[in-house]
């Protein structure tokens, strides 16, 4: 049942090229010019009327939402708030007649996300669910549902669900941008071609596994570790840190790279591992200066960047090169080494990878 893999998590990590492909299938026109999402049930005029979006989710799904915000704001110019469901519910959110709520939940059964959906529906707000489970509570209760075709995810740590949630959000962002005229057709084609190419990108990224495994073995006894990045690299850092805590039990924190010097830099001392994401060419120089700051305090830095950016080698201790894709899509590539890092560190520590302590696959209590 684990398809020859020692754990479900590793199997699911390796399923990502297929999962991404299945989530795209039938949703991008053959000429790569349009997004087909009839299940959305929204016409162009409905999409043009949306004046704000609230993305509501928990954990990894919330992290996907952070990337979704960047994509929707870039392509469709609709302001997006990304909210933790357990907070949103009690925050008396300000909504208008034209607010759209997007609830992201792999299982479709997370109690807080469902409660937030119900509360918003009561207020007459339209709710779209992005879920991996056909027939789940979220799918049944939302006004419309976009299914991610990751297939069943068994490991408690979410991997292929996250990457397919990103794909669903990119598709939505392109669709919204085209309907609103904020995304030029030529640019849309470029994005859709890049999306279409993602399964191959993911395939190539998986080739970094041996390098990550060797790093993880050396790093498994770390007490504290930091993930840093800017923009959507920061969103991926949050996901990398969560994954590491969840299954390897190594304390990890994610920081917006520019924020370190406002306090946290005090924790960076000799040998502290720092995973630095530098996947955004526009932010590269700024991120690099933050990497220099942690190096100056003795950190051991593992950098992630795009193939061809050898410049990073001059500053960090080790580099993982990832295939170049459109910067907004880079999270799909960048998260994979972080999933693998958490996995191999957990294995090296002898943990129960698929069933980490204290956690359940779907959190049905509030």
Residue 361: active-site member? yes
Q: Which two tokens stand for residue 329?
A: 């899509």
Buried b / exposed e across 135-145, counting CB within 10 Å, b at 16+? Answer: ebbbbebbbeb
Q: Which two tokens stand for residue 294?
A: 């942690």
From 32-40, 56-64, 183-191, 299-307, give the range in contact with ligand M6R by CB under 6 A. Answer: 56-64
Q: How far is the CB of 184 from ligand M6R (least distance, A)?
A: 33
How many other β-carbons are positioned within 10 Å of the β-carbon of residue 308? 9
How many other β-carbons are positioned within 10 Å of the β-carbon of residue 330? 26
Strands of 159-263 (E only): list them: 224-229, 251-256
From 155-163, 169-177, 254-262, 308-316, give the range in contact with ligand M6R by CB under 6 A. Answer: 155-163
Q: How far is the CB of 108 from ligand M6R (least distance, A)?
A: 7
Which of 148, 179 has the CB closer to ligand M6R?
Answer: 148
Alpha carbon separation from 98 to 113, 120, 129 (Å, rounded): 20, 12, 17
**Alpha helix (H) ranges present in 79-159?**
85-88, 111-122, 137-141
Please tell me which residue in 121, 286, 324, 361 is annotated as part of the active site: 361
**Binding of ligand M6R by 168 (CB under 6 A):** no
Among 99, 113, 208, 305, binds ligand M6R (CB under 6 A): 113
Give the SS3 label for residue 14.
Answer: helix
- Segment holding 286, helix H or strand E: helix 284-296
Could you tell me if 287 and 316 are in contact, meaning their C-beta atoms sit under 8 angstroms apart? Answer: no
Q: 204 to 243, contacts with ligand M6R by CB under 6 A?
A: 242
Q: Which two tokens stand for residue 63?
A: 């992290």
Which of 184, 360 has the CB closer to ligand M6R?
Answer: 360
* Helices 198-206, 330-348: inter-axial angle, 10-degree rounding: 30
**Binding of ligand M6R by 83 (CB under 6 A):** no
Name the closest residue to ligand M6R (Cβ).
59
From 8-16, 105-113, 178-186, 198-206, give the range in contact with ligand M6R by CB under 6 A. Answer: 105-113
**Binding of ligand M6R by 110 (CB under 6 A):** yes
Backbone torsions φ then ψ of 79, nearest 5 degrees: -65, 135
How many other β-carbons are positioned within 10 Å of the β-carbon of residue 287? 25
Backbone torsions φ then ψ of 194, nearest 5 degrees: -65, -40
Q: How far is the CB of 117 from ligand M6R (least distance, A)?
A: 11
From 59-67, 182-190, 284-292, 299-307, give the range in contact with ligand M6R by CB under 6 A. Answer: 59-67
**Binding of ligand M6R by 145 (CB under 6 A):** no
Closest CA to 9 of 351, 333, 366: 351
**Binding of ligand M6R by 305 (CB under 6 A):** no
Among 99, 105, 225, 290, binds ligand M6R (CB under 6 A): 105
Among 156, 212, 332, 334, binds ligand M6R (CB under 6 A): 156
Q: 320 to 359, contacts with ligand M6R by CB under 6 A?
A: none
Among 12, 17, 20, 59, binds ligand M6R (CB under 6 A): 59
Among 9, 23, 55, 61, binds ligand M6R (CB under 6 A): 61
Q: How far apart are CA 268 and CA 333, in angstroms?
A: 27
Q: How far is the CB of 69 from ligand M6R (least distance, A)?
A: 17
Give the SS3 label for residue 147.
Answer: strand
Which of 292, 359 has the CB closer to ligand M6R?
Answer: 359
Residues that bind ligand M6R (CB under 6 A): 58-61, 105-107, 110, 113, 156-158, 242, 246, 362-363
Active site residues: 361
């Amino acid at each position: 049942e684990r398809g020859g893999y020692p754990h479900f998590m590793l199997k699911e990590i390796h399923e990502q090229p297929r999962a991404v492909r299945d989530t795209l299938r039938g949703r991008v026109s053959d000429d790569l010019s349009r997004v087909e999402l009839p299940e959305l049930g929204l016409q162009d005029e409905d999409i043009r009327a949306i004046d704000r979006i609230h993305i509501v989710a928990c954990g990894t799904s919330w992290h996907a939402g952070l990337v979704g915000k960047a994509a929707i704001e870039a392509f469709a110019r609709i302001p997006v708030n990304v909210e933790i469901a357990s907070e949103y519910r009690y925050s008396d959110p300000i909504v208008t007649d034209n607010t759209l709520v997007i609830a992201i939940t792999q299982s479709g059964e997370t109690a807080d996300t469902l409660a937030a959906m119900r509360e918003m529906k009561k207020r007459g707000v339209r709710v779209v669910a992005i879920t991996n489970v056909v027939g789940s509570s979220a799918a049944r209760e939302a006004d419309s549902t976009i299914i991610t075709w990751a297939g069943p995810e068994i490991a408690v740590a979410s991997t292929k669900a996250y990457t397919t949630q990103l794909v669903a959000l990119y598709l939505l962002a392109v669709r919204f941008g085209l309907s609103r005229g904020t995304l030029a057709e030529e640019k849309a084609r470029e994005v859709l071609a890049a999306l279409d190419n993602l399964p191959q990108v993911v395939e190539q990224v998986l080739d970094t596994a041996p390098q990550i495994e060797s790093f993880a073995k050396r790093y498994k006894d770390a007490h504290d570790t930091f993930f840093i990045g800017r923009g959507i690299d920061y969103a991926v850092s949050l996901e990398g840190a969560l994954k590491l805590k969840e299954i390897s039990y190594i304390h990890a924190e994610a920081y917006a790279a520019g924020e370190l010097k406002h306090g946290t830099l005090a924790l960076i001392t000799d040998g502290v591992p720092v995973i630095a994401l530098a996947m955004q060419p526009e932010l590269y120089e700024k991120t690099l200066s933050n990497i220099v700051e942690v190096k100056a305090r003795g950190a051991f830095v593992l950098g992630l960047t795009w193939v061809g950016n050898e410049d990073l080698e001059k500053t960090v201790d080790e580099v993982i090169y990832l295939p170049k894709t459109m910067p907004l899509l880079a999270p799909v590539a960048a998260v994979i080494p972080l999933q693998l890092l958490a996995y191999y560190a957990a294995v090296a520590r002898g943990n129960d990878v698929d069933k980490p302590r204290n956690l359940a696959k779907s959190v049905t209590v509030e």
